[in-house]
Amino acid sequence: MKNLIKLVLLIFVLSSCASVKVEKLISNSPKPKNCNLEVFNNESEVKRKFEVVCLLNSKTGNSIWNKRTAEAAIENAKNKACACGADAIVITSSGRKKLKFYSYRRGVASMKGVKYL
């Protein structure tokens, strides 16, 4: 019985991890962690010329200890955008996704990392 409880707890902990997937489109010098990034809701808000350097897909953890909002998913992606050399991120979609196997939701966001020209 103890082993079953440990297994269930391990599965719960492992399934609650946040993640950010990155697709680099252009190789750039990375910026330091926690670099200052501007955040835009769409490309028309960006008033400077830019190029897209990476695509980011972020999701929050889904446990009760995680902040499960779109804003948290965006925040989780900022360091990865800095690693791409981005000056800003443009949100292409965001929201909350319901998980099929239990009722918790997790925050999700898709973004473009952009570098000013």
Domains of the chain (ranges plus CATH)?
A: 2-116 (3.30.110.70)
- State the pLDDT confidence band at 5, using cuts at 50, 70 and 90: low
Higher pLDDT pick, 60 / 90 = 90
The three-state DSSP-derived secondary structure of the chain is CHHHHHHHHHHHHHHCCCEEEEEECCCCCCCCCCCCCEEECCHHHCCCCEEEEEEEEEECCCCCCCCCCHHHHHHHHHHHHHHCCCCEEEEEEEEEEECCCCCCEEEEEEEEEEEEC
Q: What would the two tokens of residue 13 be?
A: 């902990």
Residue 8 has pLDDT above 60, yes or no: no
Average pLDDT on 65-80 reads 86
Average pLDDT on 29-42 reads 95
pLDDT at 10: 47
